[in-house]
Structure 1
Amino acid sequence: MKPTKTKAQVRKEIGNQVRDFLAEGGKVEQLQPGVSGRDINQALPVTFNQPKVKRTPLLEEIKALDARKGKHQPKVLAPKKPVKKLLHDDFGEPVRWVWLED
């Protein structure tokens, strides 16, 4: 498994990329807070102009899955084992162990 980068490593990489960009003559523009990259009256892009895509019917596969579900035997639960519990007196001192069956 590939080790994931820590936040400090990612932060260092981004800092190096910005430093290299500025060293090559790049320039960073400062914008006012709240300024957007799109015009206010411009509509958001809509992707409903695409032709309708034919879908693959899965009814047979769903029926096959449901049929396989019914073939499983119900799980038999093992009887619960007694639990050992320590009893304390009114002052919190241990008194004795008891076995509880639920």
Structure 2
Amino acid sequence: MKPTKTRRELHNELEEQVREYLRTGGKVNEVPRGLSGRPYAQSPLISIFEGTSHEDRTPVPEVVAAIEARKKPQAPARQRKPRPHKRVILDDFGQPLRWEWVED
């Protein structure tokens, strides 16, 4: 397995490629900042997807249901026993006397 290059190595490699391109007579065109590469920059973006609409698709709900069933196998339903919890016992004046465990 080849070791991955660090960011510094990639940066140096790219710089060397640019220097080599310029040394062999290559030229870089200056482009003003903010200029768009699209012919009509104010118009909305054109979709790059050339496909058919949703109406042309074949519905396959049983296939989707089978895939979903494989993703999440359903375990048998288990009955949970109610857990005991603490309840406060109050005296006639509303003051707590003690706690007791009860199951509802």
| 1:1-102 equivalences in 2 (<5 Å) | 1-39=1-39, 40-47=41-48, 49-52=50-53, 54=58, 57-67=63-73, 69-70=74-75
**TM-score, with structure 2 as normaliser:** 0.51
Unmatched runs of 5 consecutive residues or more in structure 2: 77-104
Paired residue secondary structure (2:25): coil
Deviation at 1:42, TM superposition (A): 4.9
Moved segments of 4+, more than 6 Å: none
Corresponding position of 1:91: none
Give, as a single letter, the amino acid of the residue that structure 2 aligns with 1:59.
A
- Rate the CA distance shift 1:50–1:19 in 2: closer, same or farther, 3 A: same
Deviation at 1:62, TM superposition (A): 1.7
Deviation at 1:47, TM superposition (A): 3.9
Paired residue secondary structure (2:72): helix
Note the aligned Cα RMSD (angstroms). 2.6
The 1-side partners of 2:72 and 2:43 are apart by 49
Identity %: 30
From the CA coordinates, give the structure whose radius of gyration is larger.
Answer: 2
**TM-score, with structure 1 as normaliser:** 0.52
Give, as a single letter, the amino acid of the residue that structure 2 aligns with 1:9.
E
How many residue pairs are counted as aligned between the two chains?
A: 70
The 1-side partners of 2:49 and 2:8 are apart by 42
